[in-house]
Structure 1
Amino acid sequence: MPASAKLETSTSSAPPDDGSRAVRFTVEQYQRMIDAGVFDSDRRVELLRGRIVRMPAMQNPHWFLLHHVEKLINGLLPSGYFTSEQAPIVFDDSEPEPDVGVIRGLLTDYRESKPRASDAAMLIEIASRSLLSDRRDKGPIYASGSVPEYWIVNAIDRSVEVYRDPKASVSAIAADYQQRTTYRDSDPIPFQLDGKDIATIRCDELIPLAD
């Protein structure tokens, strides 16, 4: 492990109950709303633990890093995987749209249905304004679906947080990743898919400095 990489045990917990009675929707109800055109076409939303959450408008460096990271990861994939960009992944009570997904199989396998959590080998979020939610909300959701690898490309402090060893739970709120490693600068990041070493990517390759 590189000297500046920090291995931590995840200590995140469910957000406190504020006593509100927000309406919650199932994945099926959410999909029917999409099909019925309930949401404005220029406003992107996702379903997180039954709640419909508006996604913030994309700005730089998010836009640049999204396409840069997807291109880099896609160029390293072995056969049997493909990348997705801000496309929905179906979980039991959520339908998030991670910035980058590494999906098992072929694109043509999903002509009739969206990928499910069990189809995702790796999910990546580009974090700037969304950093808190990516840690507190997205991490437990992805762990609840046993997605083996979750990365947060942290544009705020130019680091990459790698989460592994998901621990599922009867409650998605209690699920989480057991291992978190933070990489910075030129730290080498092991790129793994389904337990196999694919390549090594430097942190500063994922978050390059401006010329």
Structure 2
Amino acid sequence: MKKREVHASVKDERLVKKRRNQMIKGAVTLFKEKGFHRTTTREIAKASGFSIGTLYEYIRTKEDVLYLVCDSIYDEVKERLQKDLYQNVGTIESLKLGIAYYFKVIDEMQDEVLVMYQEAKSLTKDALPYVLNKEMEMVGMFEHLLRKCKENGELAVSEKQLKLIAHNIFVQGQMWGFRRWALQKMYTLDEFIELQTHLLIHGLREEVTKK
């Protein structure tokens, strides 16, 4: 699906990025507290630190903010996974590193992730597929890492198994964001990553042994 462009009348790309990051942070806090429908664009502008007029220089509608939230999560995950990883993929160690990067992004952006899932229902029928596609693109990143391991003989799994494993990694990361209030009583983030990765890799190696 083609990337949806959010209109901005300002041409300075660095300024657009800066203002939109402010907007995302302000909007996420409001959406989490009040919900999408009860939050006004004027409140988003105030929480972002600028006027309503300035706000409309960077977006057209309140829905645009939800798009930006989704994009910011995806772009951060993509940046982390592409940093070193895509040049050194194909090993179990690179897979472990990719999982750790992803879990840490979810930890840092848990409010954004929560808002994305809570408020996706507020999007129009035309807009929702874009958000869902963003999620599938993130799952696809893990399919890529797993497929490279398979090609290198590190894993012996079918295509169906590979796709399910990618979804499992994706959901396990979200578990930390959604259930952190309970999990933090038992684990640090590093302990959670280590245990989840061990269970995953152990299961994959069992499959290799069976074959």
Per the TM superposition, whether the score is higher than 0.5 is: no
More contact order relative to length (CA 8 Å, sep ≥ 6): 2
Higher relative helix content: 2
Bigger Rg over Cα: 2
Q: TM-score, normalised by structure 1?
A: 0.27
